[in-house]
């Protein structure tokens, strides 16, 4: 009888360590698709120091390979890094009183590394692991380029976008397929603001752009 009890105890212990536990020391690696969908708004375009009435810049969306690494500091709290291959966005401008209509203004690549703290809501043994997070984002723009459509009007130009520091907020969930593998869905809102500075032979065009994207990520994950 005693032997039987010990067996039950050992089995129970094995089962417990074998459950879906996200626990202190776990490393969660996720890879999949990440879509950056700007909710852009901007100040009026400023041409040679004069604001152009009814004008605005806009930024389109882009999908890349997204990677996140999360390390469980406790059974419920993780520190997470969001990384990706570079996003590439087209920038358009409604020229308003300039009378050119909507033009393709340029394009840029960017990397938006984001470090967050996540709080897992459910018990660590649960198969379904929803979480909320908050973090800090740094966005670096590079390979900015002026579109030929705008250059057709103002001549060959250059574009510079300032880097951005901002806060981010996140919700997401891991769903354990087994002890190691899981699927993840997560949404970030990231405060990304930049100054766009277009320079042409005889003109300068500037605007402050609030990119403030939602980032949607769907990934496959592995727990180490």
List of residues contacting Ni ion (CB under 5 A)? 191, 193, 210, 212
Which C-beta is closer to Ni ion: that of 107 or that of 210? 210
When the beta carbons of 58 and 210 are compared against Ni ion, the nearer one is 210
Q: Looking at beta carbons only, is 104 or 191 nearer to Ni ion? A: 191
Q: What are the structure tokens assigned to 67, written together?
A: 């990677």
151 or 191, CB closer to Ni ion? 191
For residue 84, give Cα distances in angstroms to 106, 123, 153, 166: 22, 30, 35, 18
Q: How far is the CB of 41 from Ni ion (least distance, A)?
A: 9
Report DSSP letters for 169-217, one per residue: EEEEEEEESSSSEEEEEEEEEE--EEEEEEE-SS-EEEEEEE---EEEE
47/190 with CB nearer Ni ion: 190
Closest distance to Ni ion from the beta carbon of 212 (Å): 4
- Paired with 41 in beta bridges are 210
Closest separation between CB of residue 211 and Ni ion, Å?
Answer: 7
Min. distance of Cβ 224 from Ni ion in angstroms? Answer: 35
Q: Rounded to the nearest whole angstrom, what is the least distance from the CB of residue 193 to Ni ion in the complex?
A: 4
DSSP, res 43? P
Cα four-point dihedral sign 93, 143, 208, 85: positive
| Shorter beta-carbon distance to Ni ion: residue 174 or 210 | 210
Q: Nearest distance from residue 83's CB to Ni ion, in Å? A: 22
Measure the CA dihedral 83/31/134/71, to 10°.
-100
């Amino acid at each position: 009888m005693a032997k039987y009890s010990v067996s039950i105890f050992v089995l129970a212990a094995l089962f417990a360590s074998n459950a879906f536990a996200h626990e202190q020391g776990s490393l969660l690696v996720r890879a999949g698709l990440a879509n950056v969908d700007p909710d852009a708004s901007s100040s009026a375009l400023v041409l040679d120091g004069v604001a152009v009435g009814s004008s605005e810049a806009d930024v389109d969306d882009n999908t890349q390979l997204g990677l996140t690494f999360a390390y469980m500091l406790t059974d419920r709290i993780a520190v997470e890094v969001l990384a990706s291959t570079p996003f590439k966005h087209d920038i358009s401008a409604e020229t308003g009183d300039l009378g050119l209509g909507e033009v393709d203004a340029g394009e840029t690549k960017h990397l938006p590394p984001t470090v967050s703290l996540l709080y897992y809501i459910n018990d660590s043994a649960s198969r379904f692991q929803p979480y909320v997070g908050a973090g800090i984002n740094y966005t670096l723009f590079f390979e900015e380029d002026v579109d030929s459509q705008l250059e057709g009007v103002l001549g060959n130009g250059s574009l510079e976008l300032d880097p951005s520091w901002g806060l981010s907020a996140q919700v997401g969930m891991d769903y354990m397929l087994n002890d190691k593998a899981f699927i993840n869905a997560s949404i970030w809102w990231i405060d990304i603001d930049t100054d766009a500075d277009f320079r042409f032979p005889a003109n300068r065009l500037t605007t402050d752009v609030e990119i403030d994207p939602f980032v949607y990520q769907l990934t496959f994950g592995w727990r180490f």
